[in-house]
Chain A
Amino acid sequence: MSGKTLYDKLWEDHVVYTEDDGSSLIYIDCHLIHEVTSPQAFEGLRLASRKPWRQSRNLAVADHNVPTTDRDKGIADPVSRLQVETLDKNCTEFGITEFGMADARQGIVHVVGPEQGVTLPGMTIVCGDSHTSTHGASGALAFGIGTSEVEHVLATQCLVQKKAKNLLIKVNGQVGKGVTAKDIVLAIIGKIGTAGGNGYTIEFAGEAIRALSMEGRMTICNMAIEAGARAGLVAVDDVTIDYYRNRPYSPKGNDWFMAERLWQQLYSDADAVFDKVMQLDAALIKPQVTWGTSPELVVAVDETVPDPALEPDAVKRQGMMRALEYMGLQAGQAITDITLDKVFIGSCTNSRIEDLRAAAVVVEGKKVAANIKQALVVPGSGLVKRQAEDEGLDKLFVDAGFEWREPGCSMCLAMNADRLEEGERCASTSNRNFEGRQGYGGRTHLVSPAMAAAAAIAGHFVDVSSLEGAAV
């Protein structure tokens, strides 16, 4: 019998019951809740007179609608305010822990979870948010769900699921200077497409993945969903264990030693069989920039905007042409000739301390270019913000002309006041470049934090790997 993949192990460990047709009731260890996808679920519980199965397995935090300035003044938009107040009320009524807007631990749900040790290796983790895949970085099975499933998890602590297939993506060798986790994952998506991972759980492995910090691994798994996979995984190693030691909600005392032993088993066996395997050479990956309205429309910074005429597939060609029109770009244009209006450093993809450090190094002692109307840094959580301030990073950003904001999802999806105006072009460290994502008619280019920082200084894209002394 062949060995088991990490996904096989996590799945088997959580099966409560399997039907004849293979659909299983899966136990959920941790449920994260935010204000956008939960109100209708709580309402459903109320209408059916149901209670949460285990209150303690839920953690709520408002992140999508929260303002990133003048926190003490509350939320100006009445519709956003009602949604956040509804979360507060529901958490009180159903006895669920919430980090409120004034709590230093508040932040983007996918930054807060690992930071607090609420999401741990070996768990099943769900949230009404597709970027829940982030938590797979710790060797946990984590995926996004819809609101009906949010209600289902609240009521039963379980979900009805069918097992996905196993996809292994090995990134061999080492990345070059200036190439980050974001570039690795964008290169992967460029290769397999946004539907490439449909029906799979992706395990990311290989030397280049092992060399990443937990933050970098979270960036990779965060964007597994952009490759179509609900869940991404990285096997547990010393980096994982060290990260979770002494987190507020991590196991303590004897429990810690027991957990450590269990977590050390969370890897794919050497003889495990994957349904599909893909290999990449890390040394060939350059800093990436998306040029279209889907994350798969991506090229290296030293390339040009592709020509749809060279695409043989009619549906794809049409898609490329529509993307070029929306983005206001010409085929053949050099990526480094694209000038920008705004820069956004933040989101559940790239708002952790390591991301802010990487950007700060690039902007230190320099000034944001005159054509940049706004450059935002939005830390992922109140604690990331505090740490960055302790390290003096906020000063480096502010001195360079960036705005230093309060934590939240912010301009990644523009549900709060932070957004692009029609036609504005943005270098963004977020995860989606869909039409209208960062604001009606806004144009998004996805990049790494260092690339976004360098673009803010130059006013256009530049190859960060060519910058003098960019220690990224």
Chain B
Amino acid sequence: MKAFTKITSLIVPLDRANVDTDAIIPKQFLKSIRRAGFGPYLFDEWRYLDQGEPDMDCTNRPLNKDFVLNKPEYQGAEILLARENFGCGSSREHAPWALEDFGFRAIIAPSFADIFYNNCFKNGLLPIILAAELVDGLFNEISAGYKLTVDLETQKIVTPDGREMGFDIDGNRKYRLLNGLDDIALSLLYADKIKAYEAERAKRAPWLFVD
């Protein structure tokens, strides 16, 4: 997994609450058996004026010029600013895959749906929960060329005029993300504890251990 330390980047304001994972990456693209290549189809139904299909070449598709991701001033942005309950709906990890593949490294919102939030950390994508007033402030403040710095180590967001906003993050998740660590390898360090748990549980619930 890609590590996340500190970035300074343009920020795209996506001013909608309850953005669901069906909107982030529509179902037809979930038929892929690969993990990469979802970026061109991110927000497909909002970004393009035609209907997207898997493996479609997106270079000549008609763009919805009103959709914020298509605006010239936000090209190259690595930070997404969103509203309440971002990533609700399906558990599809294709949503963070598409955001990451598109080029996003961090998402700022007042709240995230639980499964989506969790999935971000498996993909080097940092979801930042910020108070609704602060998010509101950012929505009002963003203008052409506006860049934010996100520093995971110090857990701070810094505005262009030097104002700092702190954010909370679970220690374990922060450590894994800062170091780009593989969760499975870490969990397998506890193999003996897992086996001990199984031996003890088998006495209480033997029907779960008739292999």
Given contacts A17-B190, A156-B187, A415-B27, contact A258 B206 (CB under 8 A): yes
Given A82-B33, A228-B114, also A440-B45 (CB < 8 A): yes
Q: Are B85 and A228 in contact (CB under 8 A)?
A: yes
Q: Mark B46-84, 1 if CB is under 8 A from A, else 0.
A: 000001001100000000000000000000000000011
- Select from chain A the residue with minimum beta-carbon distance to B183: A152
- 9-residue interface stretch from A32-40, A108-116, A272-280, A353-361: A32-40
CA distance A21 to B197 in the complex (A): 21
Contact of B194 with A21 in the complex, beta carbons under 8 Å: no
Q: Which residues of A contact B111 (CB under 8 A)?
A: 195, 198
Question: A146 to B193, Cβ gap below 8 A?
Answer: no
Contact B91 A262 (CB under 8 A): no
B211 to A, closest residue via Cβ:
A56
- Across the interface, which residues of B come within 8 angstroms of A152, CB to CB? 183-184, 187
Interface residue? B205 (CB, 8 A):
yes
Which of chain B's residues have a CB closer than 8 A to the CB of A435?
A: 22-23, 45
Q: How far is the CA of A48 from the CA of B183 in the complex (A)?
A: 13
Do A318 and B207 form a contact, CB below 8 Å, given A25-B190, A195-B113, A228-B85?
no
A405 to B22, CA, bound (A): 25
Do the beta carbons of A414 and B27 come within 8 Å of each other?
A: yes
User: When the two chains form their complex, are residues A40 and B35 in contact, meaning their CB atoms are under 8 A apart?
Assistant: yes
Q: A79-B54, A435-B22 are in contact. Are A413 and B27 (CB under 8 A)?
A: yes
Within 8 Å of chain A (Cβ to Cβ): is B188? yes
Check: A122 CB closer than 8 A to any chain B CB: yes
Give A433 Cβ to nearest chain B Cβ, in Å: 10
Report the count of interface residues on A (CB-CB < 8 A). Answer: 81
For window 129-182 of chain B, which residues contact chain A by CB distance below 8 Å? 170-173
| Given A148-B123, A258-B206, A437-B22, A194-B16 contact (CB < 8 Å) | no
B40 contacts A by Cβ under 8 Å = no
A436 at the interface (CB under 8 A from B): yes
- The residue in chain A whose Cβ has the minimal distance to the Cβ of B28 is A415
Number of contacting residues on B, CB 8 A? Answer: 62
The answer to the question of B26 belonging to the interface, with a C-beta cut-off of 8 Å to chain A, is: yes
Say yes or no for A191: interface residue by CB 8 A criterion.
no
Considering only residues 200-234 of chain A, those with a C-beta below 8 Å from chain B are 225, 228-230
Q: Are A148 and B122 in contact, with the CB atoms below 8 A?
A: yes
B188/A195 in contact, CB under 8 A: no
Q: Give the residues in chain A near B187, CB-CB below 8 Å.
A: 25, 152, 155-156, 158, 160
**Complex: A225 Cα to B114 Cα, angstroms:** 9
Distance (Å) between the CB of B118 and the closest chain A CB? Answer: 7
A122 contacts which chain B residues (CB < 8 A)?
Answer: 205
- Report the separation of the CA atoms of residues A158 and B119 in the bound assembly, to the nearest whole angstrom: 16
In contact, A415 and B85 (Cβ under 8 angstroms): no
Report the minimal beta-carbon distance from B144 to chain A, rounded to whole angstroms. Answer: 23
For B26, list chain A residues within 8 Å (CB).
Answer: 436, 440
Say yes or no: A315 contacts B83, CB within 8 Å. yes
Taken residue by residue from 99 to 142, chain A's Cβ proximity to chain B (1 for < 8 Å, 0 otherwise) reads as 00000000000000000000000110000111010000000000
Tell which of A16, A39, A434 touches B20, judged by Cβ atoms closer than 8 Å.
A434
Could you mark each residue 145-183 of chain A with 1 if its beta carbon is under 8 Å from any beta carbon of chain B, else 0?
Answer: 111110110011110101010000000000000000000
Q: What are 13 A-B contacts with C-beta separation under 8 Å?
A: A37-B91, A43-B35, A65-B31, A130-B90, A146-B115, A147-B35, A148-B123, A149-B118, A156-B184, A195-B111, A258-B206, A415-B31, A432-B90
